Amino acid sequence: MATPESLGILLRAQGRTRRRLIVNRIFEGSVVVAAIFAIALLGLMVWSVGSRGSSALNWDFFTKGPAVFGQAGGGIAPSFVGSFILVAIATLFALPTGVLAALYVSEFAPPRIANQVRLWLDVLNGFPSIVIGIFVFALMVKVKIPVIGIGRHQSAWAGGFALSIIMLPLVARSTMEVLKVVPSHLREASYALGVSKWQTVLRVVLPTSLGGILTGTTLAISRAAGETAPLLFTCAIAGNFVDWNPARSMLSIPLTIFEYSESPDDNLHAQAWAAAFVLIVVVLVTSLTARLLLERSRRKLGAAR
Amino acid sequence: MEAVAINPLKRTRKRHDRIGDGLLYGLTALAALIGILVVFAIIWRVAYGAWPAIKEFNVGFLWHNQWNATLGEFGARDLIIGTVVTSFGAVLIGGPLSIAIGLFLSELAPPSVRLVVGTLIEMLAAVPSVVIGLWGIFVLAPFDAQHLQPILGRTLGWIPIFAHGQDRVESTVFTAIIVLTIMVIPITSSICRELFIGVPTELEEGSVGLGATRWEMVRTVVVPSVRGGVVAAIILGLGRALGEAIAVTQVIGNFIPLKTSLLEPGDTLASRVANQYQGAITNIQVSSLIYLGLILLVITFVSNFLAQRVVKRFELQRGG
Q: Is the pLDDT of residue B12 over 70?
A: no
Of B59-68, B140-149, B162-171, minimum mean pLDDT range? B162-171
Asked if the C-beta of A27 comes within 8 angstroms of chain B's C-beta atoms, the answer is yes
Helical segments of B58-200, H only: 77-103, 111-126, 129-135, 141-143, 149-156, 173-198
Binary contact (A119, B308; C-beta < 8 A): yes
Per-residue confidence (pLDDT) for residue B320, from 0 to 100: 39
Q: Could you tell me the end-to-end alpha-carbon distance of chain A, in angstroms, rounded to an integer?
A: 58
Q: Is the pLDDT of residue A124 over 70?
A: yes
Q: Is the pLDDT of residue A170 over 70?
A: yes
Residue A194 CA to chain centroid, in angstroms?
A: 40
On chain A, the residues whose CB falls within 8 A of the CB of B108 are 28, 31-32
Q: What percent of chain A has pLDDT over 90?
A: 24
Task: Tell me which of B9, B114, B134, B250 to substitute to probe the interface with A (most A C-beta atoms closer than 10 Å).
Answer: B134
Of A143-147, B144-148, B150-154, B267-271, minimum mean pLDDT range? A143-147
User: ω before B257 within 30° of 0 (cis)?
Assistant: yes
Per-residue confidence (pLDDT) for residue B2, from 0 to 100: 44
Provide the shortest C-alpha distance from residue B49 to chain A (in Å): 7
Handedness of CA B63, B66, B67, B72 (dihedral sign): negative
pLDDT, one tens digit per residue, over B35-52 is 999 999 999 999 998 888
Inter-residue contact B90 to B241 (CB < 8 Å): yes
Provide the shortest C-alpha distance from residue B197 to chain A (in Å): 16
Asked if the C-beta of A24 comes within 8 angstroms of chain B's C-beta atoms, the answer is yes
Helix or strand or coil: residue A66?
Answer: strand
Inter-residue contact B86 to B241 (CB < 8 Å): yes
Per-residue confidence (pLDDT) for residue B260, from 0 to 100: 77
Task: Tell me which of B127, B193, B222, B301 to substitute to probe the interface with A (most A C-beta atoms closer than 10 Å).
Answer: B127
Inter-residue contact A227 to A254 (CB < 8 Å): yes
Per-residue confidence (pLDDT) for residue A162, from 0 to 100: 93
> Which range, A8-17, A34-43, A94-103, B149-158, is most confident?
A94-103
Greater pLDDT, A149 or A14: A14
Alpha-carbon dihedral B238, B240, B243, B246, rounded to 10 degrees: -130
Backbone phi and psi for residue B241, each to the nearest 5 degrees, phi listed first: -65, -40
Distance in angstroms (rounded) separating the CA atoms of residues A105 and A279: 34
DSSP labels, B53-87: HHHHHGGGGGT---EETTTTEE--HHHHHHHHHHH
Distance in angstroms (rounded) separating the CA atoms of residues B74 and B51: 14
pLDDT, one tens digit per residue, over B49-88 is 888 888 888 888 888 777 877 777 888 888 999 999 999 9
pLDDT, one tens digit per residue, over B111-142 is 888 888 888 888 888 889 999 999 999 999 88
Long-range contact pairs involving A209-213 (C-beta distance under 8 Å, separation at least 24): A209/A175, A209/A178, A209/A179, A209/A181, A209/A182, A209/A301, A211/A293, A211/A297, A212/A174, A212/A175, A212/A177, A212/A178, A212/A181, A212/A294, A212/A297, A212/A298, A212/A301, A213/A99, A213/A171, A213/A174, A213/A175, A213/A178
Q: What percent of chain B has pLDDT over 70?
A: 92
Beta bridge partners of A66: A74
Mean pLDDT, rounded, of chain B:
84
On chain A, the residues whose CB falls within 8 A of the CB of B144 are none
Helix or strand or coil: residue A275?
Answer: helix
Asked if the C-beta of A37 comes within 8 angstroms of chain B's C-beta atoms, the answer is yes
What DSSP character marks residue A145? P
Binary contact (B105, A97; C-beta < 8 A): no
Inter-residue contact A271 to A79 (CB < 8 Å): no
Mean pLDDT of A166-174: 93
ipTM of the complex: 0.86
Inter-residue contact A275 to A256 (CB < 8 Å): yes
On chain B, the residues whose CB falls within 8 A of the CB of A34 are 96-97, 100-101, 104
Per-residue confidence (pLDDT) for residue B35, from 0 to 100: 92
Categorize the per-residue pLDDT at B153 as very low, low, confident or very high, splitting at 50, 70 and 90.
confident
Provide the shortest C-alpha distance from residue B159 to chain A (in Å): 26
Distance in angstroms (rounded) separating the CA atoms of residues B308 and B301: 11
Q: Is A144 left (phi over 0), alpha (psi -120 to 50) or beta?
A: beta
Handedness of CA A21, A27, A29, A35 (dihedral sign): negative
Crossing angle of the two packed helices A77-103 and A206-225, in degrees rounded to 10: 140
On chain B, the residues whose CB falls within 8 A of the CB of A32 are 104, 108
Per-residue confidence (pLDDT) for residue B148, from 0 to 100: 82
| pTM of the shown model | 0.87
Provide the shortest C-alpha distance from residue B215 to chain A (in Å): 5
pLDDT, one tens digit per residue, over B196-253 is 988 888 988 999 899 888 889 998 889 888 888 898 889 889 988 998 989 998 888 8
pLDDT, one tens digit per residue, over B277-306 is 777 777 888 888 899 999 999 998 888 888
Per-residue confidence (pLDDT) for residue B41, from 0 to 100: 93
Q: Is the pLDDT of residue A90 over 90?
A: yes
Inter-residue contact A269 to A176 (CB < 8 Å): no
Beta bridge partners of B159: none
Asked if the C-beta of A226 comes within 8 angstroms of chain B's C-beta atoms, the answer is yes
Distance in angstroms (rounded) separating the CA atoms of residues B39 and B34: 9
Categorize the per-residue pLDDT at B4 as very low, low, confident or very high, splitting at 50, 70 and 90.
very low
Mean pLDDT of A286-295: 81
The 10 Å Cβ neighbour count of residue A26 is 11
